[in-house]
Every structure is written in C-alpha cells, then in structure tokens.
Chains A and B, each alone.
Chain A
Amino acid sequence: MLANKQLLPWACAVLLAAQASFCFGADAARGRQLYESRCIGCHSIEDNRAGPAHKGVFGRKAGLAKGFDYSPAVKSSRIIWNERTLDRWLSNPEATIPGNKMGFAVPDPKDRADIIEYLRTAK
C-alpha cells in the first residue's frame, strides 16, 4: 500500500486537472497583476474592447457579454465559465472552442489559476 506521502503528488495531479486553484492556492492579487499585464491588451473588466468585458464572467454562459460581437463558435458553445472551463480555455482556447477568435493562451497552470481567481472577483 502506498504511504500518504507517496499518494499526495498523485492526488494533487488529479485535482489539478479538475481545479488548478485548489493545489496552487490561487492568488487573486497576483491574478490581477497578470491580467493587467497579459489580458489588458484586448480585455477589460467593465467594457467590451477587442475582446469581451469580463465583469460577471464567472458562472456565465460563454458568449453572453452584452454588446460583444462573438464568433459563431463561442455563441453556439454550451460552456459555463467556472474554474475548470476557464482553465481549459486559457490553456488552449482553440481546443476548448474550435473556431473562436482568441489566439492567446496562458501556458503556466499557476498563472491560469491566479487569473481565474481574479476573474472570480470581477462581479
């Protein structure tokens, strides 16, 4: 039987796939800094720009930011944005919703977790 110490990395890996923020202790303040650095070129919390506004994105169905001209792919997707779906999206937007317009990914899991934690606060 595996000792607890041996099981821990496996448990963490499983949880990572489901909810990155759990293992990383997601940091909304760092997420805000990352958002201001990487996402702000196209997005803002309050207003639609080249990308849609993020206010209220957490828990919202994809493609419903008021007044934003989404791709047909995003509009017809049935994704609800939460930790898991946002993590998938930021990891690989094209694999998550093929045909979307976003060409920007966040490869680092910790960075994704922090950005997602910040987006959770954008109500």
Chain B
Amino acid sequence: MNKVIVPGRRGFLNGTAKLSAVAIAMLAGRETLAASHAGAPMDSKDVDILNVALGLEWEGINAYTLGAKSGLLEKPVLDVAVRFQTDHKEHADTLAGAIRKMGGKPVEPKSLNDYAKALKADTLKTQADVLNLAARLELGATNAYLGVIPAFKAPALAQVAARLAADEVMHWTILNNALGRPLPAGGMPFGA
C-alpha cells in the first residue's frame, strides 16, 4: 500500500473549526427547511427519499464504527474516521429532524451485526481495506445524493441533498488521498 497521507492534527483541528461553520449552516438550513414546510401537506415521495438517505447515513455511521472497532486503524487515521463519523451523525440528525417536521417517521438504524454482514466486515484485514470500504461508501453516498436531487419536489430539500453530497465528496477526497490514489481524470467526475 502507498504511504497513508492524512491531515495533521493541527490541520485536522482547523478542519473541525470549519465543520462547525458548516454545522451551523446546516442547522440554519434545517430551519429554513422547516419553515418552508410549515403548514404544507407532507410530500410522501420527498419523505421517502429522505428516509433512504437517512438509511445511507446510518450505514455510514456504522461502517465507521466497524472500522474503529476493527483495531486496524492507526492514529491519526482513526481520528479522521471518528471525525467523519461525527459528520454522518450530524447528517442523520438533520435528515431525521426534517422527516419529523414533514410529518414522517425516520427510519431506524439496523443492528451493527446487520451492517457488518452487509458490508462484509469480516473481509477487512488491513487499514487499507477499511479505507477502501469507507471511500466506496462515501462515493456511493455522493452519487446517491446527486442522483436524487432532481426527484425532490421541494427545492430546499434538493439544496440539502447537494450540501450533503459536498460533505461526502470532502470525505471521499481525504480517503482517496490517504489511499495514495490520484484525483479522478477530467471535470465533473461525480454523479456520472
């Protein structure tokens, strides 16, 4: 495996500070979202899409738990994984809050064992295996969020999906770099 390149502790802390700004913006976005739906009839299709997205976030959260519990991640990679998991928890909170405010019922997470089976956690033998899995899930989530944008009836939800996709791209880029892989060729590599 190529040398793992991850942000240094200082850079990582700087990143956390940036996340706080993003977090505040996300919360603000959720309020906008709630306001835009206040008194409006629930669009069940939008809620269904949000619930599928929430399912992806639960999977991401549990994937990082599996990675952290595997004992395969060394510091500072482990710290980055935990930080990314925190982002996914925030995404899940945002989505669940939006679903509730639209009158829907947020989907519950499955058991860690269910995620371990579905993600074939027993095949993870090295740190690179864990990072590969995480990168694959982040890319999948990116493309899923980008792919559902046209399906939302509410433009505010489409914007939330775009912002979540941007977070996933940030994660994927760091993981891709840590795996020593080149940037994708050409412009607009995501969502296609």
B132 proximal to A (CB < 8 A) = no
List A contacts of B140 (CB < 8 A). Answer: 40-42
Assess whether B79 is interfacial by the CB under 8 Å rule.
no
Is the pair A42, B56 in contact by a Cβ cutoff of 8 Å? yes
| B118 CB contacts on chain A under 8 angstroms | 44, 47-49
Known contacts A37-B192, A103-B45, A104-B148; is-contact A42 B117 (Cβ 8 Å) = no
Q: Is A27 an interface residue (CB 8 A)?
A: no
B192: chain A residues within 8 A (beta carbon): 37
CA distance A97 to B168 in the complex (A): 29
Interface bits A62-106 vs B (CB < 8 Å: 1, else 0): 000000000100000000000000000000001000011111110
Q: Which chain A positions have C-beta within 8 A of B120?
A: 47
Contact residues, A28-50 vs B (CB, 8 A): 37-38, 40-42, 44, 47-50
Within B142-163, the residues touching A (CB, 8 Å) are 142-145, 147-148, 150-152
Report whether B117 and A104 are in contact in the complex, using a CB–CB cutoff of 8 Å: no
Query: Which among B52, B142, B151 is the interface contact of A42 at CB below 8 angstroms?
Result: B52
B147 touches A50 (CB 8 A): no
Residue A109, interface by CB 8 Å: no
Cβ contact within 8 Å between B143 and A101: no
Asked whether A56 is an interface residue with its Cβ less than 8 Å from the other chain, the reply is no
Q: Is B117's CB under 8 angstroms from A102's CB?
A: no
Task: State whether B52 touches A102 (Cβ < 8 A).
Answer: yes
Question: Is B51 an interface residue, CB under 8 A from the partner?
Answer: yes
Q: Is B90 an interface residue (CB 8 A)?
A: no
- Check if B51 sits within 8 Å of A101, measured CB to CB: yes
Residues of A within 8 A of B136 (CB): 40
Interface of B, helix, strand, loop or mixed by DSSP = helix
Q: How many residues of B contact A (CB 8 A)?
A: 27
Residues of A within 8 A of B141 (CB): 41
Report yes or no: B151 in contact with A50, Cβ–Cβ below 8 A.
no
Distance between A6 CB and nearest chain B CB, rounded to angstroms? 34
Assuming the contacts A37-B143, A37-B192, A48-B118, asked whether A105 and B52 have C-beta atoms less than 8 A apart, the reply is no
Q: Which residues of B contact A47 (CB under 8 A)?
A: 117-118, 120
| Contacting residues, chain B, for A38 (C-beta < 8 A) | 143, 147
- Tell me if B7 counts as interface (CB < 8 A to partner A): no
Q: Which of B56, B120, B140, B150 has the most CB of A within 10 A?
A: B140
Cross-chain contact A105 with B147 (CB below 8 angstroms): yes
Chain B, 78-91, contact with A by CB distance < 8 Å: what is the 0/1 string?
Answer: 00000000000000
A-B contact pairs, 17 of them (CB 8 A): A37-B139, A38-B143, A40-B143, A41-B140, A41-B145, A42-B52, A42-B144, A49-B118, A101-B48, A101-B51, A103-B45, A103-B48, A103-B49, A103-B151, A103-B152, A104-B147, A104-B148
A interface residue numbers (CB < 8 A to B): 37-38, 40-42, 44, 47-51, 71, 94, 99-105
The chain B residues found within 8 Å of chain A, CB to CB, are 44-45, 48-49, 51-52, 55-56, 59, 117-118, 120, 136-137, 139-145, 147-148, 150-152, 192
